[in-house]
């Protein structure tokens, strides 16, 4: 396996105005960064700073204006399906059971229905879903729906996972429980995670490094190393060094927001 799970090499990107095909200003400009295999990276920044654009480029929904994006050391003409993706809304199909929702990425790869459901069945207990495989999304709590969404992302088969504010709609207690659960799963699966959040404390609790969007166009990302050992629990976030870092990041983000 490559020593780099994800790499941006001098990537620039701009949108086009759909009305008159006019080129908009760059969102990213010669941006370069590396993410190592098994690393947990959180991405924070003001709304409109380019976080979602970054994910669109990684997934292949958008293509760079210039530069290269490498996944596991390789350039792919088509990156669609090369990474796992878990959006803010779980996007579970309401007419499919938990089992059938989770098996969807395997079916799309051509795995036989019976074999796909057997793979899901073997993972249900590990993901806290044993006994609800025949229920529909409307029967589940928000936290349970996100577990199904994460299982579906894992079954995509990629070692690179993109999580776009997956816990933002959850209540505070469920959100804390899901953060701890996510770390447990990450440590088991050894996946590389990029996690967008607006919550600085969440970013510091979960991550090895935090990437901060501080400018438009984005020419570089400020990288913050989180001074916490692993394994962690939520009490670790009260470490004086982490509190100081949290205050610094919040001040930095507030300075970029126009009232």
- pLDDT of 254 reads 83
Provide the whole-model pTM: 0.90
Q: How many angstroms separate the Cα of 39 from the Cα of each of 53, 85, 169, 190?
A: 21, 16, 25, 8
- pLDDT of 73 reads 92
User: pLDDT per residue over 9-44, tens digit each?
Assistant: 999 999 887 667 677 788 999 999 999 999 999 999
Question: Is 257 a member of any domain?
Answer: yes
Q: Are 132 and 225 found together in one domain?
A: no
User: pLDDT per residue over 171-220, tens digit each?
Assistant: 999 999 999 999 999 998 889 999 999 999 999 999 999 999 988 899 99
Match 């090499």 to its residue by tokens: 9
Question: Is 175 a member of any domain?
Answer: no
User: pLDDT per residue over 129-161, tens digit each?
Assistant: 999 999 999 999 999 999 999 999 888 888 999
Question: Is 2 a member of any domain?
Answer: yes
The alpha carbon of residue 40 and the mean position of all alpha carbons in its chain are separated, in whole angstroms, by 9
Consecutive H or E run containing 54: helix 51-59
C-alpha–C-alpha distance, residues 221 and 187, integer Å: 26
Q: Are 4 and 132 found together in one domain?
A: no
Question: Is 181 a member of any domain?
Answer: no
Q: What is the mean pLDDT of the chain?
A: 90
Distance from the first to the final alpha carbon of the chain: 46
- pLDDT of 1 reads 55
* The token pair that represents 9 in the structure block: 């090499």
Residue range of the domain that includes 259 = 1-83+160-170+192-259
For residue 71, what are the β-bridge partners? Answer: 6, 74
Question: Looking at per-residue confidence, does 20 or 103 come out higher?
Answer: 103
Q: Are 69 and 6 found together in one domain?
A: yes
């Amino acid at each position: 396996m490559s020593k780099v799970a994800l790499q941006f090499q001098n990537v620039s990107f701009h949108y086009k105005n759909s009305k008159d095909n006019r080129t908009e200003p760059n969102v990213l400009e010669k941006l370069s960064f590396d993410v190592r295999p098994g690393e947990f990276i959180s991405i924070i920044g003001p709304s409109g700073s380019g976080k979602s654009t970054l994910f669109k480029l990684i997934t292949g929904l958008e293509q760079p204006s210039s530069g290269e994006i490498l996944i596991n050391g390789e350039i792919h003409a088509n990156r669609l399906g090369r990474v796992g993706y878990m959006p803010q809304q779980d996007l579970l199909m309401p007419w499919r059971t938990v089992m059938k929702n989770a098996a969807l990425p395997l079916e799309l790869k051509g795995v036989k229905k019976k074999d796909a459901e057997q793979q899901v069945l073997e993972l249900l207990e590990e993901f806290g879903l044993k006994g609800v495989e025949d229920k529909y999304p409307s029967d589940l709590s928000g936290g349970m729906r996100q577990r199904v969404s994460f299982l579906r992302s894992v079954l995509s088969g990629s070692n690179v996972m993109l999580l776009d504010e997956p816990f933002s709609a959850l209540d505070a207690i469920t959100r804390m429980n899901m953060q701890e659960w996510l770390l447990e799963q990450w440590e088991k699966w050894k996946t590389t995670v990029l996690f967008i959040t607006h919550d600085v404390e969440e970013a510091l609790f979960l991550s090895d490094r935090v990437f901060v969007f501080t400018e438009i166009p984005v020419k570089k990302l400020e990288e913050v190393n989180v001074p916490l050992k692993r394994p962690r629990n939520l009490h670790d976030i009260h470490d004086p060094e982490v509190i100081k870092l949290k205050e610094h990041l919040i001040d930095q983000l507030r300075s970029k927001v126009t009232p």
